């Protein structure tokens, strides 16, 4: 599982001109599932994202997490994170999880977050999404869970 985490001031996802997910300050998380990713990784990702200290404290140091700041989470499915670009100029997605399994996992992931945070929004799996992220910092991290 690979996640691209961006601390943001605002983020939104549109599908066919309609906003399907939108948050204020918090984190935008692009999630890519790889073939063979165990379901246990979902809980690890939720725990990691909820405790990741990427928000400033009173001294300006990154010591606070999204829960402590009352921030929001926008989850965005992104199979292209599993791309293999080592073989040429066209990415290969053979390492990505099969779409039906990945959709189920993405839906479950979003449901896991909701008890911890009030505002968890999500993009639409398999849709042509237009994503707008106003990155704060910029703070962008790549998380790879084995």
Q: What is the pLDDT of residues 59-90, one digit of tens each?
A: 999 999 999 999 999 999 999 999 999 998 99
Name the residue among 84, 98, 83 with its Cα closest to residue 30: 83
Q: What is the pLDDT of residues 124-134, one digit of tens each?
A: 999 999 999 99
The answer to whether 29 touches 71, Cβ cutoff 8 Å, is: no
**Rounded CA separation 124/89 (Å):** 28
Strand 26-32 and strand 2-15: pairing?
antiparallel
pLDDT score at 119: 81
**Rounded CA separation 31/11 (Å):** 15
C-alpha 18: how far from chain center = 20
Q: What is the pLDDT of residues 92-108, one digit of tens each?
A: 999 999 999 999 999 99
Name the residue among 138, 144, 111 with its Cα closest to residue 54: 138
Query: String of b and e for 5-37 (b: at least 16 CB within 10 Å)?
Result: bbbbebbbbbeeeeeebebebbbbbbbbbbeeb
Instruction: Give pTM, 2 decimals.
Output: 0.94
Q: What topology does CATH give the domain 2-87+94-125?
A: 3.50.80
Helix-strand-coil split of the chain, %, nearest 5:
20, 40, 35
Strand spans (E) along the chain: 2-15, 18-23, 26-32, 55-56, 62-64, 72-77, 120-122, 129-144
């Amino acid at each position: 599982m690979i996640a691209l985490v961006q601390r943001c001031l605002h983020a939104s996802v549109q599908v066919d001109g309609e906003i399907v997910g939108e948050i204020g300050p918090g984190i935008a998380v692009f999630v890519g599932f790889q073939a063979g990713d165990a379901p246990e990784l979902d809980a690890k990702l939720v725990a990691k994202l909820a405790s990741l200290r990427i928000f400033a404290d009173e001294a300006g140091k990154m010591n606070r997490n999204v829960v402590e700041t009352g921030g929001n989470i926008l989850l965005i499915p992104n199979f292209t994170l599993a791309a293999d670009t080592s073989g040429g100029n066209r990415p290969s997605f053979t390492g990505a999880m099969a779409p039906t399994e990945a959709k189920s996992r993405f839906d479950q992931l979003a449901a896991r977050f909701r008890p911890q945070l009030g505002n968890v929004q999500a993009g639409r799996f398999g849709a042509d999404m237009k994503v707008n992220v106003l990155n704060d910092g910029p703070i962008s991290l790549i998380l790879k869970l084995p």
